[in-house]
A and B are shown apart, each in its own frame.
Chain A
Amino acid sequence: MKTFNRNVLSAAVGAAILSLGGLAQAEDTIKIAVAGPITGPVAQYGDMQMSGAKMAVEQINAKGGVNGKKLEAVLMDDVCEPKQAVAVANQIVNQKIKYVVGHLCSGSTQPASKLYEEEGILMITPAATNPAITQQGYKMVFRTIGTDDQQGPTAGRYIATKVKPKKLAIIHDKQQYGEGIAKEVDKTVKAAGIKPVLFEGISKGQTDFSALITKMKKEGVDFVYYGGYHPELGLLLRQSKEQGFDAKYMGPEGVGNKDISAIAGPASEGLLVTLPADFSTDPANAALVKAFKDQKQDPSGPFVMPAYAGVQVITDAITGAKTEDPIKLAEYIRKNSFQTPIGKVAFRENGDLKEFEFVIFEWHADATKTPVK
């Protein structure tokens, strides 16, 4: 037994030395971890994030890289699970990667951000919108997307001024993201004098919503705001149509992807969604959009351009500040502004964008969307 232990120990030490050697060799590249869901129920969004970040890395490398070094994107799968996100964050720390573009879900971004702050790793999330993430007083955490306290009020104001529903229901999935945004909408409509008749949480992964739908139908609800992601809303829409409950639905950017139409089919027609403006229609991005289309990738997803911008802010900062030290870069990012595909971006002291606009889209059964005035 004793010799066995010693063998294991020496093997472990050997492996550790080998991996150190590996790191030492890799010094001529700059690694950026791209962390998000590659598998799991919301992997659709991970695709957007990964394709945006990979495109940025490719294009920057094609222009000669950063300070003569090549960029390398290291993809990490957190499945949008808080536990897995912490494991991924630890991996990033152990691999001595100094920059992260991610994570995607607010629930997994928050626990991971704590590690990055402690370890002095620069993190830019292109997708997590929960306000709490930038309210922790952290210095290393930024985002290239708006927040729920911008998105929620946009939706809430639209409901209060344009829709004016007789009976409003607000449903959420009890997750940090979904419930957070539902509360923001609730606050905004209440301030405008509309009191929702229902404010309830369903469970992540729930498939049967018939009891809830019956209840809303009985209450005469004519407008439903849903805070959460598309798998649950897709089923909710489909079962509503089936039961003959014909209220209009609205949701945040977490529901706005093609899968919602795959799940809900015709029931997804007319769904309202708040999304970041569609940067792929901006004429300034024409060349970039063409590059995406050449690779048969869709640049119109809400997180594609923010992920591109995340990588670009990091590399522009490295060039501008003439250092690779993440802590100095964080200071530089706070003081300067950057020209990216999502426009000219500048950050507040807490890491949020100074300006970010959410737009309301109407979703169609064929998974396309049109902006609503």
Chain B
Amino acid sequence: MSNFSILEFIQQIINGLTLGSIYALIAIGYTMVYGIIGMINFAHGEIYMIGAYVGLLVITVLGLVGVDSISLILLATLAISILVTGSYGWTVERLAYRPLRGSPRLVPLISAIGVSIFLQNYVQLGQGARDVSMQPVLTGGWRFGSEDGFQVYLSYMQVLIAAITVAFMASLTLFISRSRMGRACRACSEDRAMANLLGIDTDRVISLTFVLGATLAAVAGVLVSMYYGLVNPFIGFIAGLKAFTAAVLGGIGSIPGAMLGGIVLGLAESFASAYLQTEYKDVVAFALLILVLLVRPTGLLGRPDVEKV
């Protein structure tokens, strides 16, 4: 490759942060559920896929009705997608995991995989197995710097993705650290049996965890349909795998860890693609995961919590 360019480097950071924000949003769903009930919710990728479908449908319908204000489209889409996706999250927990509470760990895991397959096929039946696409809602951006004709490009959409991600993560952090319900969440995560004895309705906390995770997955889904404009019933699988990796990388069970893990993963993919070969981006991402786990088995920000593992 030709010589290093600082502008290209900046551009790759922008690319990586955008991708990483999406990973981080989805990763939080994995990490929260694990933090509270010690189970990997493998259906989470499908919840995100449903969020993306709802997002795309709402945007398309709004476009048909003639709504053209970006902020209105964004707000309406986010609200509807969160509502629909959140109720899917709640239902999945209620039907597929709650009846299995207290059974051996492998059982809810199998149930999760079953839900994942079910949702994939359910959307396939309802929406067809083909790609559904849509033209970008928000185009344009800023260009700055110039070096041999190369300009850094920061699109409005990328800024929007970053802003929304930060906003939702900040609210989630506030909610967990300040609110009464958040305290209950933390208590459950520390010791569920004890929290139950102390009068916390743990079933409600668990439901809430699933709904919160689904909310963030819905946000990621809406952002993805606005940014890439292409969804199909299978996008949940790869996105789920990457987000799960991000959650483990950051330390599963830790919310700041999931955020950090997502960003690190996004940047790693972007840099691997830029300075090695695009073929190696997944190799680099997973090699990084192995390295981190070798040095810090609990992930970047994970607590050394022996009984959970």
Contact = CB atoms under 8 A, between A and B. Distances in A.
Contact of B228 (A207, A215, A244): A207
Interface string B256-289: 0000000000000111011001110110000000
A41 B281 contact: no
A276 to B, nearest CB: 23
Interface in B105-162: 124, 128-131, 133, 135-136, 139, 141, 143, 148-151, 153, 155
Contact of A205 (B12, B151, B238): B238
A291 to B, nearest CB: 26
Interface string A208-223: 1011101101111000
Contact of B277 (A43, A200, A231): A200
Contact of A242 (B139, B224, B271): B139
Contacts of A234: 133, 230
Interface residues of B, number: 46
B90 interface: no
Contact of A244 (B8, B136, B143): B143
B15 A238 contact: no
Contacts of B131: 41, 231, 259, 263
Contacts, number: 97
A174 B139 CA distance: 30
A207 B149 CA distance: 26
Nearest to B282: A203
Interface string A38-51: 01110110000000
A41 B130 contact: yes
Contacts of A208: 15, 18-19, 228
Contact of B130 (A40, A217, A219): A40
21 contacts: A39-B128, A39-B130, A40-B130, A41-B232, A201-B277, A201-B278, A210-B18, A210-B19, A210-B270, A211-B12, A211-B271, A211-B273, A212-B278, A214-B8, A214-B12, A214-B274, A217-B150, A234-B230, A238-B229, A243-B153, A243-B155
B278 A244 contact: no
A95 B125 CA distance: 27
Given A171-B278, A214-B15, 12 more contacts: A174-B279, A203-B282, A211-B12, A211-B278, A211-B281, A217-B150, A218-B5, A218-B11, A231-B131, A242-B153, A263-B229, A265-B136
Contacts of B18: 208, 210
Given A41-B131, A43-B130, A211-B274, A244 B232 contact: no
A238 B228 CA distance: 9
B62 interface: no
Interface of A: 39-41, 43-44, 79, 171, 174, 200-203, 205, 207-208, 210-212, 214-215, 217-220, 231, 234-235, 238, 242-244, 259, 262-263, 265
Contacts of B224: 207
Most chain-B CB neighbours within 10 Å: which of A41, A210, A220, A244?
Answer: A210
Nearest to A39: B129
Interface in B27-46: none
A202 B19 CA distance: 16
B278 A200 contact: yes
B249 to A, nearest CB: 18
B2 interface: yes
A220 B129 contact: no
A220 B274 CA distance: 14
Contact of B150 (A202, A218, A263): A218
B273 A220 contact: no
A220 B235 contact: no
A214 B282 contact: no
A220 B269 CA distance: 22
A187 to B, nearest CB: 19
A235 B230 contact: yes
A135 B48 CA distance: 44
A202 B278 contact: yes
Contact of A215 (B8, B155, B229, B282): B8
A79 B136 CA distance: 28
A211 B15 contact: yes
Contacts of A40: 129-130
A244 B16 CA distance: 18
Contacts of B232: 41
B230 A207 contact: yes
B230 A231 contact: yes
Contacts of B277: 200-201
Nearest first, the 7 A-B pairs at minimum CB distance are A211-B273, A39-B129, A210-B15, A211-B270, A200-B278, A263-B133, A218-B8
